[in-house]
Structure 1
Amino acid sequence: MNVSILLIILFVGAFATYLAGDKLASKVALFFSLSSLGCAIVLLNQFNAGENISVIHQWINQPNISFALLADGLSIAMLLLTLALTPIIIFSSFENEYKNAKAFYALILFMAFAMVGTFLASDGLLYYIFWELSLIPIYFIALIWGNGDAEERKKAVIKFFIYTLAGSLFMLIAFVYLYQQAGSFLLEDLYKLNLSSTEQLWIFLAFFLAYAIKIPLIPFHTWQASVYQKAPAVGTMLLSGIMLKMGLYSVIRWQLPIAPLAAKEYMYIFISLGIAGVIYGSIVALRQKDLKKLLAYSSLAHVGLIAAGTYTLTIDGLRGAVLQMIAHGFVVVGLFFISEIIFRRYETRTMAEMGGIRSQSPKFASMFLLLVLASVALPTTFNFVGEFTVLYSLSQINLWFAFLGGTTIILGAYYMLKMYQQVMLGETNTKVFMDVTFKEGFALVLILAVLFFFGMYPKPITDLITPSLENIITQINRIN
């Protein structure tokens, strides 16, 4: 069995979901998402047994383009993140009613198809195609099923679309230039290029623009908070939990190994940008009154730290970044789902209009608190493993980087606990807060189980990703 079967399942699933009609769409989408997850676990076992599950076939002769999918430890880890979160996200939406549900759920599966393709592609043009395809479904999900005023939502979504598309065009130009030098878009051929320091700088910056917008890093983050706020809960979870990881993954897979000289020469600048995002995101989060916007800026702070870890060019930095990517994916999906559960009952996201939920729903309050503690990297949670490793890698470069990066722990704990106090404690809201349903509780328990299991036993993931990251470090250090 090869890894392309996953793409087939998701692609067919998207069409089957649409054809199933509005009443069955959610269940059909859940079935295909779970089927793809089961298939991914089988492929993981085959990979661990030493079988080759990668794919490479000649696709187009002129230009020389291959249908090439690379299934190494790094790509499989991101694959599992995507395919584990997708059914959770779909299941979390079962309590909502959507107009034209068949299109809504079909777009979710198509987006998962495009994101899986992005994580697996090892041909530059194929990778670019999947990268762009992932933008289409989230555009329509946010535009059609989003929240708030239609005009404001339209402005936010169009800004996001134009930003990301414009950044991607620079990446496409970089791939065209690399193709002219290598005669191929294949990743292994691009890795072999001996580009001059000037060439590497321009390639590095072209990639950086695309990735910095997608992650996002400051000052390319201006689309994020408004889109997160206006998108429906499912769209926000897809964006924050999975889609932004495409940019972080791509830094490790494409940018750093292809342009290592530029990465080394300007390391301090890009680490500083990541850490600036940590501080900026945390400070702005402190001032938020809207729960979704607070979580959006919290996410900005966390991904800034992850990006800083990738640009350390150390094995600890890359390993910590990948661990934190996976942990952040589960935490942020859980937190945005919490926000959606509260909105279902109170029909507001303004924190001042909440309060007193703990006295009415202690089970919900307990699960919310555990997610908050995971977000602030409490020991025994998955986030602690990744965050500690990233901070250790920063300390190897400069102690000040580790100190400033560590502010995410202090500031994060302050604004997250303050948010929890305002939302869950205090006087009871005049509206009755109904306890969590079985479906809501089940989704939250699944997320918490992942966070605490891998927080105490991260070895399976570190063993999976480390050989791939060591190969990338070797590639980065091939030219001194």
Structure 2
Amino acid sequence: MGNGDAEERRKAVVKFFIYTLAGSLFMLVAFIYLSQKANGSFLIEDLYKVELSVCEQLWIFLAFFLAYAIKIPIIPFHTWQANVYQKAPTVGTMLLSGIMLKMGLYSVIRWQLPIAPFASKELMNIIIGLGIAGVIYGSIVALRQKDVKKLLAYSSLAHVGLIAAGSYTLTLDGLRGAVLQMIAHGFVVVGLFFAAEIIFRRFATRDITELGGIRIQSPKFTSMFLILVLASVALPGTFNFVGEFTVLYSLSQINVWFAVLGGTTIILGAYYMLKMFQNVMLGEANAKTFSDVTLNEGISLVVIIGILLFFGLYPKPITDLITPSLETILNVINKN
């Protein structure tokens, strides 16, 4: 069993390495080409000023898209994600879900859209469609998962699909909602994976069918886990609600059906996340002992929950911080 698990882990790592390297090579070639067009400069202001033909923009856009679609990930470049998230140590999973995929989303807004604005406008509906397809696919597959980490992995795929769709609306609301949701998702997904690790440390399993009864043994942890679950499904008053509502509003400005289909992440997400909470935390006491959370574990969860609730009720500090930069990026996109 141990050798088999190690072999599966190696396969997942190799697949992730190949996907990431391949995508990054295309991005590297694109940046080298842009630098040559900018007289050897890599300064962002100089790259924004590079005059590209329609054909050049399409190739640059696609080179960037391949790299970022793998990192985010966007369908159909997502096949590495679930196994890597499941097999990686929890710290690695938290880094991948909380930070690395945000690098891809950030790069879309900072580099891809303003450098290739014509291509962004031309391909906008296609990319939004791929993002929404990820929302629906991730949500449906998450419904069938028995492993907690794998369920959270597909849940993450659904959420980042919605963020990507918002980014490609090329509207201020879309970009602002995407950035807000990037931050909110980073905190909530790290909190959920950390909670899953806490359960694994006690029960030595992530199989949902073998869990249950934790609420009786640890009411405090159950309450904190419930808040993270409710934040994940964008309950009003949590940070995720602010981001998702803004993204869905921006999608409705492009096409109301984009918003309707994108909203399935909330409906289906509420179903599979609350069902997972019911099976993992509620029910009769488990035969295995669940010792209460330690001080360090409790502090970590309280800090994450505090951030999600504070910015869910008062997101103004972040919106004031990000709006001027997003307006500048939109000006660069729209003047071309």
Asked if the contact 1:147/1:229 (under 8 Å) is kept, the reply is no
Which residue in 1 is equivalent to 2:10? Answer: 154
Does residue 309 of structure 2 align to residue 456 of structure 1? no
Tell me how far apart the structure 2 counterparts of residues 147 and 416 of structure 1 sit (CA, whole Å).
32
Cα distance between partner residues in 1 of 2:199 and 2:329: 43
| 1:71-82 paired onto structure 2 within 5 Å | none
* Contact 1:316 1:390 (8 Å CA) reproduced: yes
Structure 2-normalised TM-score?
Answer: 0.98
Question: What is the match of residue 248 of structure 1?
Answer: 105
| Residue 342 of structure 1 pairs with residue 199 of structure 2 | yes
1:144-199 per-residue CA deviation (whole Å, 9 max, x = no partner) reads xx997211111100110110000000011111211221112211111011211111
Work out whether 1:382 is the aligned partner of 2:217: no
CA distance in 1 between counterparts of 2:200 and 2:251 reads 39
8 A contact 1:327–1:451 mirrored in 2: yes
1:165 maps onto 2:21 in alignment: yes
Match of 1:296 among 153, 161, 166: 153
In structure 1, how many angstroms separate the alpha carbons of the residues matched to 2:111 and 2:4?
A: 38
Distance 2:8 2:93 in 1: 16
Q: How far is the alpha carbon of 1:435 from its aligned partner?
A: 1.0
CA distance in 1, matches of 2:32, 2:291: 56
For the pair 1:280 / 2:137, whether they are aligned, the reply is yes
Q: Which residue of 2 aligns with 1:417?
A: 274
Report which structure shows greater RCO (CA 8 Å, sep ≥6).
2
- Alignment match, 1:206: 63
* Pairing of 1:7-406 with structure 2 (within 5 A): 149-183=5-39, 184-406=41-263
Aligned to 1:438: 295
Task: Render the CA deviation track for 1:258-299: whole Å, top value 9, x for unaligned.
Answer: 000000011100000000000000000000000000000000
Deviation for aligned residue 1:323: 0.2
Q: What CA deviation, in whole Å up to 9, does each residue of 1:218-242 have, x standing for no partner?
A: 1101010101011111110001011
Q: Classify 1:330/1:147 alpha carbon distance in 2 versus 1 (closer, same or farther; 3 Å).
A: farther
Amino acid at match of 2:326: L
1:469 aligns with 2:326: yes
Q: Deviations over 1:93-136 (max 9, x none)?
A: xxxxxxxxxxxxxxxxxxxxxxxxxxxxxxxxxxxxxxxxxxxx
SS in 2 for 1:296: helix
Q: Percent identity?
A: 82
Q: Deviations over 1:290-345 (max 9, x none)?
A: 00000000000000000000000000000000000000000000000010000000
- Provide the rounded CA distance (Å) in 2 between the counterparts of 1:266 and 1:238: 30
Q: CA deviation at 1:412?
A: 0.2
Query: How does the TM-score come out when normalised to structure 1?
Result: 0.69
Q: What letter corresponds to residue 211 of structure 1 in structure 2?
A: Y
For these two proteins, the number of residue pairs brought into alignment is: 334
Distance 1:269 1:400, change over 3 A: same
CA contact (8 A) 1:147 1:232 kept: no
Aligned residue type for 1:329: G
Retained in 2: the 8 A contact 1:241–1:328?
Answer: yes
Distance 1:296 1:255 in 2: 26
- Aligned AA (1:366): S
Change (3 A) 1:305 1:427: same
Q: Is the 8 A contact 1:163 1:213 kept in 2?
A: yes
Query: d(CA) in 1 for partners of 2:9 and 2:65?
Result: 27
Contact 1:147–1:153 (CA<8 Å) still a contact in 2?
no
Unaligned runs of 5+ in 1: 1-145
- The alpha-carbon deviation at position 427 of structure 1 amounts to 2.3
Instruction: Summarize deviations over 1:45-81 as a string: whole Å, max 9, x none.
Output: xxxxxxxxxxxxxxxxxxxxxxxxxxxxxxxxxxxxx
Q: Which residue of 2 aligns with 1:141?
A: none
The answer as to whether partners of 1:147 and 1:230 remain within 8 angstroms in 2 is: no
In 2, Cα distance between equivalents of 1:226 and 1:358: 29
Partner residue, 1:57: none
Amino acid at match of 2:110: R
Quick one: distance in 2 between partners of 1:359 and 1:149?
32
Structure 2: where are the runs of 5+ without partners?
none
Runs ≥4 residues deviating over 2 A: none
Q: Aligned with 2:146: secondary structure?
A: coil
| Structure 2 counterpart of 1:347, one-letter code | A
Could you report, residue by residue, the CA deviation over 1:397-419 in whole angstroms, capped at 9, with x for unpaired residues?
00000000000000000000000
Contact 1:305 1:390 in 2 (8 A): yes
1: CA distance, partners of 2:194 / 2:171: 34
The C-alpha deviation readout for 1:190-221, integer Å capped at 9, x for no partner, is: 10112111110000000000000000011101
Report the residue type matching 1:356 in the other structure: G
